[in-house]
Structure 1
Amino acid sequence: MRVSTGQIQRMVMQSLQQGGADYGKLMQQMATGNRLLKPSDDPLATVRLQGIDKELSALTQYEKNAVQVKSRLGQQETQIDSMKEILLRLRDMTVEAGNGSYELAERQALTHEMVSLKQALLDLANARNEEGHYVFSGSRTDLPAVAETAPGVFDYQGDDYQRMVAIASGVMVPANDSAERLLFNGGNLLQDIHDFIELLQTTPGNIGTAVGDMLDSLDQGIGNITRALTDIGGRINSLDQVVAAHGEMKVFGQGLHNELSALDYGEAAMNMQQILLALQSTQQTYVNVNKLSLFNAL
């Protein structure tokens, strides 16, 4: 079968076009650092990369959630610890108020600080976060946790809702605690403090029973708060471990991603050299074919 000069020219042109396309693709790969420019370059690797990207995206979100929850729990821990310090001071003052030698005037003198401590405790119970939401109101974050609904009457206005946040696949952690758990678990500590202050201001004589009741109420509140602090500390430690684990998994996933998608520049340089040599050879062939004519053969 004879091959005409025109057929040879078309074959050479097709080879030049393919070589140019290969060269352009390689240049794009080297410019981006990516081995895969489109899914058809390696369908199997593309599917694996899509799975890795999905997992990395989920890890990033989980890590963000964990960091946010840790920050909020840290703020709550500081506020709750301050509540505990107030209750411990009130306990010391309650014991002092029970001194049998104290007269009414001496008890009244104690109440000046106790009133300030009660207000500080109320302010902490009604603390807000950076978004202006009440921290210890459960789901009712638009309302103060504790309100003086009538003169000298203190009530909890929130609920016991705990917002659960995903920090890993199938792993949720509570992001908040309520003042109900801290100050109203088994009683109404703020009300008890208020009533005891009024008693110290107005009642002479023996107040031993009232002092005992106040100490019981304070001890229960201190116990509630201590348990909450222990729980929050455990959650914060768990979050630290989760964040560290997510970081390691992201490094591993990114490394696997790079193995599948990143261009081997050494291999690419060798391929470029081969493509250029092939193009030069094809171009020379094209020149030689164009020189062929019947007159050259005579």
Structure 2
Amino acid sequence: MRVSSHQFHLNAISNIQYNTARFNEASVQLATNVRIAKPSDDPLGAVLLLNLDAELDSLSQYQSNIASIDFTLSQQEVKLTGIVNQIYSLQSLITTAADGSWGEEELKALGQEMSVIFPGIVDLLNGTDSEGKYYFSGSETNTKPFDLDAAGNYAYVGDDNVRNVAVTADSSVASNITGNELDPGANFLNAMKDYLVDINNPPATGVGNESRAMITELATFLGTITGGVTKIGGTIASLGSLADSNLDITAVTSNLRDDISSVDYPAAQIQMNEAMAAYESSMQVYASVSSLSLFSFI
């Protein structure tokens, strides 16, 4: 088969360009340690990298969610633990007041001390984060959960929505406890408010019956608060396990991504050397043949 000089030139230039491109590709890979710079370098590998990048982004978001939930639950736990301590103080004072031997002035003194403790409990139930968002008002984070109504009684004015946040691809955890779980219907707050009226204005017969009834209310309230502390503690413990699991998955995914995207240095070096050798060979053949003419054979 005859090959025209024009066709020879085209083939030679094509070979030179091809081997130049192979050499440049290998040298860039060796310099950057990036095997897939564009989808055409490895279409299947490029798709896998996109999927792995999306997975790593999701894992990063889950870790961020876990850290955020851990912090906000820890702050809520601090508030509830503070309430528990205040309950114990009230419990001691109310138990003392239940003794019928106490006189009016002594009962008023106990009442004054309780009147200092009680607003602290209300403040803790209405606790806020650094942005002024209320912890225990459900999704109504801009609304104070416990407030006095027009009749002067406490009412829960948040909602019962629990904010669930994704922490893995298949699971989410609650990031808050609602005030209605802690003091359903504001029963304790109203009972304590009324009891303070009694003990600060005690009848001659004392407040024994009222105190014993209040101790029962206090025990119920303590149960819901400690239940909240236990619930938060369990969630925080599970978050630590989930965070460790996400870190393990992230490490495996990152390693797989590196395996796909990183350059095989020996193979790239061989490709570069082969391309250089082929380039030089093509250039020599092209130069030799291009110098020939009919006069070379006369």
- Scaled by the length of structure 2, the TM-score of the pair is 0.93
Q: Percent identity?
A: 32
**Residue matched to 2:257:** 257
Asked if 2 retains the 8 angstrom alpha-carbon contact of 1:9 and 1:289, the reply is: no
Displacement after TM superposition at 1:11 (Å):
1.9
Counterpart residue number, 1:213: 213
2:248 matches 1:243: no
Residue type at the aligned position of 1:201: N
Q: Which residue of 2 aligns with 1:2?
A: 2
How far 1:217 sits from its partner (Å)?
Answer: 0.5
Residues 190-199 or 52-61, more deviating: 52-61
- Asked if residue 198 in structure 1 is aligned to residue 197 in structure 2, the reply is yes
2:163 is aligned with what amino acid?
Answer: R
Q: How many residues align?
A: 297
Structure 1 residue 151, shift from structure 2 partner: 7.1
What's 2:117 paired with?
A: 117
Secondary structure class of the residue paired with 2:167: strand
Structure 1 residue runs of 4 or more that deviate by more than 4 Å after TM superposition: none
Q: Distance in 1 between matches of 2:45 and 2:14?
A: 30
1:150 is displaced (CA, Å) by 4.4
Between stretches 160-169 and 48-57, larger displacement belongs to: 48-57
Query: What does 1:266-285 correspond to in 2, within 5 Å?
Result: 266-285=266-285
Distance apart, 1:61 and its partner CA: 2.0
Letter in 1 for 2:196: I
Query: How big is each residue's C-alpha offset from its partner over 1:162-203, in whole Å with a ceiling of 9 and x where there is no partner?
Result: 111121223121111112111236x61111112212211111
Aligned to 1:14: 14
Q: Which residue number in structure 2 is paired with residue 91 of structure 1? A: 91
Deviation at 1:125, TM superposition (A): 1.1
CA apart distance, 1:152? 4.8
Write the distance in 1 (CA, Å) between the matches of 2:223 and 2:3: 99
Aligned equivalent of 2:52 = 52
1:46-70 CA-to-partner distances (Å, cap 9, x unmatched) read 3333332232222222222222111
Q: Distance in 2 between matches of 1:297 and 1:10?
A: 24
Give how far 1:233 is off: 0.5
The CA distance in 1 between the partners of 2:278 and 2:16, in whole Å, is 9
Contact 2:20 2:276 (8 Å CA) reproduced? no
Letter in 1 for 2:201: T
Deviations 1:61-86 (A, max 9, x none): 22222221111111111111111111
Q: Give the aligned partner of residue 184 of structure 2.
A: 184
Letter in 1 for 2:60: T
> What are the superposed Cα offsets for residues 102-129 of structure 1, whole Å, 9 maximum, x if unpaired?
1111111122221121111111111112
Residue aligned with 1:168, SS:
coil
Structure 1: 5+ residue stretches without partners = none
Could you say which residue in structure 2 is the equivalent of 1:135? 135
Please give the alpha-carbon distance, in whole angstroms, between the structure 2 residues aligned to 1:227 and 1:27.
Answer: 64
Q: Contact conserved, 1:59 with 1:168, CA < 8 A, in 2?
A: yes
- How big is each residue's C-alpha offset from its partner over 1:225-249, in whole Å with a ceiling of 9 and x where there is no partner? 1111111111111111111111110
CA deviation vs aligned residue, 1:125-178 (integer Å, no higher than 9, x gap): 111122222111112222111112247522211122211112122312111111
The one-letter code sitting in structure 2 at the alignment partner of 1:198 is V
**In the alignment, what sits opposite 1:232?**
232
Alpha-carbon spacing, 1:234–1:146, altered in 2? closer, same or farther (3 Å): same
Does the 8 Å contact 1:152/1:194 carry over to 2?
no
- Partner Cα separation in structure 1 for residue 76 and residue 31 of structure 2: 50
Q: C-alpha distance in 1, partners of 2:4/2:155? A: 101
Amino acid at match of 1:197: L
Deviates more, 1:258-267 or 1:114-123: 258-267
Do the aligned residues in 1 keep the contact of 2:97 with 2:208 (CA within 8 Å)? Answer: no
For residue 218 of structure 1, report the CA deviation from its aligned partner: 0.6
3-state DSSP of counterpart to 2:212: helix
User: How far apart in 2 are the matches of 1:180 and 1:4?
Assistant: 92
Q: CA RMSD in A?
A: 1.8
Paired position in structure 2 for 1:77: 77
Q: Which moved more, 1:144-153 or 1:257-266?
A: 144-153
2: CA distance, partners of 1:272 / 1:83: 72
Letter in 2 for 1:249: I
